[in-house]
Amino acid sequence: MKDDIGNPIFTDFKVDESLEWQMSRAEKYCLMGLMKELTPDVAIEIGTYKGGSLQVISSYSQQVYSIDISDSPSKFLSPKFANVEFVVGDSVHCLTNIFQKIEDDGKRLDFILVDGDHTRRGVYRDLEAIFNFPHKHSITILMHDSFNPECRKGIRTFLESHPQFVAYAELDYVTGSYWHNGTYREMWGGLALVKYDPKNQGQELYINQSQRQLFESTYLHSAHLVKDRMAFLFPLKRKIFRSLGLKNKGDIYHDF
The residue ranges that bind ligand SAM (CB under 6 A) are 21-23, 46-49, 52-53, 67-70, 90-91, 115-117, 122, 253
**Nearer CB in complex with ligand SAM: 29/207:** 29
Angle at 168 between CA 141 and CA 87, to 5 degrees: 10
**Nearer CB in complex with ligand SAM: 67/194:** 67
**Nearer CB in complex with ligand SAM: 49/111:** 49
> What's the rounded Cα separation, in Å, for the pair 225 and 231?
11
Count of alpha carbons within 13 angstroms of residue 160, beta-carbon side = 8
In angstroms, give the least distance from the CB of 69 to ligand SAM.
4
Question: Which of 145, 137, 140, 84 shows the shortest CA–CA distance to 116?
Answer: 145
In angstroms, give the least distance from the CB of 220 to ligand SAM.
25
In angstroms, give the least distance from the CB of 250 to ligand SAM.
13
**Nearer CB in complex with ligand SAM: 168/253:** 253
**Nearer CB in complex with ligand SAM: 52/176:** 52
In angstroms, give the least distance from the CB of 64 to ligand SAM.
12
Query: Contact at 8 Å (CB) between 195 and 159?
Result: no
In angstroms, give the least distance from the CB of 46 to ligand SAM.
6
Query: Contact at 8 Å (CB) between 28 and 16?
Result: no
**Nearer CB in complex with ligand SAM: 20/216:** 20
Residue 199: burial class (beta carbons within 10 Å; 0-12, 13-18, 19+): exposed
In angstroms, give the least distance from the CB of 119 to ligand SAM.
9
In angstroms, give the least distance from the CB of 202 to ligand SAM.
32
**Nearer CB in complex with ligand SAM: 106/175:** 175
